[in-house]
Amino acid sequence: MATGQIRKALSGFYYVQDGEQLIQTRGRGVFRKRGITPLVGDFVEYEVEGNNDGTLTKIAERKNELVRPPIANIDQAILVFSVVEPDFNTILLDRFLVVLESFHIQPLICLTKMDLLPAEKREDMARYIADYEGISYTVIETFKDDASILGKLTPLLAGKTSVLAGQSGVGKSTLLNTLMPQLNLKTGVISDALGRGKHTTRHVELIEVAGGLIADTPGFSSFDFDTIEKEELTYCFPDLARLSENCKFRGCLHVKEPKCAVKAALEAGDLQQYRYDHYLQFLQEITDRKPRY
């Protein structure tokens, strides 16, 4: 049985990379009956019919999958956040980080428009960068026409399947155009009325870049916590997770429990107040979530 990876999905066809060959395939009818949809990034088995046509027969177990963009088996997400226009937003960044952690996708933080940061905000920004690097996240700083960005990102892309994520208008399309000039994605200024940028894509494709694969779409712009239970939330905050090992009670939610190591670290100044505040807000969102039936 021939095997490969789906690199592109378009108009009901799935294009499977098998060595040097790109095979056009369709899914088996049984997939539809079972509610299975092949995704870009899937590792598959297929049967060849004719010169370059095939049928998918089996989809290997996925380590993760996203709905928008519809893609599977992602290793890392490059979180693109501007420091101005729109302003740097820690609660939105933490929301993205938490959901990525829940999917076991490694986040990489890329800060754009550093050249536009006013002098009076540089100290605060430097503190935020130090905070996230202290949590063990990689932070890359860049700006428009940054000639060094390829050199910064190339070693981080090798051997990995990556997607881009971030708020609209922060420079995701610009970054993709830098990594993959052949895309020539349209980039636009932020809409003054809506406060967000615009981008439309018709399909998802994984393209080989710098020894790795990267999705050719700026992807998603928001996340929710539908798949995270409140008992799991701590482990989506690596800084809280490390501290929680010393909590007296197993399953401590770090709210009202006695002898909580997270709250002790907060009082001692060893945990950033905004990270704890975001944890409490997300915990409340999950608690208030309507049950699924």
Binding residues for Zn(2+): 247, 252, 254, 260
Calpha distance 230→202 (Å, rounded): 36
- Cα–Cα distance for residue pair 163/185, rounded to 1 Å: 15
32, amino acid identity: R
Binding residues: 112-115, 166-174, 247, 252, 254, 260
For residues 190 and 116, the answer to whether their CB atoms sit within 8 Å is no
Residue 182 CB neighbour total at 10 angstroms: 7
Q: Specify whether the backbone of 181 is left (phi greater than 0), alpha (psi in -120 to 50) or beta.
A: alpha
Residues 107-133: b if buried by 16+ CB within 10 A, e if exposed? bbbbbbbbeebeeeeeeebeebbebbe
- Helix axis angle for 172-179 and 149-157, nearest 10°, is 80
Helices assigned H by DSSP within the chain:
29-33, 90-102, 122-134, 149-157, 172-179, 238-244, 261-268, 273-288
Contact yes or no for 255/239 (Cβ under 8 A): no
Binding-site members for GTP are 112-115, 166-174
CA 18 to CA 2: how far, in whole Å? 8
Going by C-alpha positions, the residue among 17, 12, 10, 14 that lies closest to residue 2 is: 17
- Closest among 63, 65, 2, 61 to 39, alpha carbons compared: 65
Say if strands 13-18 and 2-10 run parallel, antiparallel, or are unpaired. antiparallel
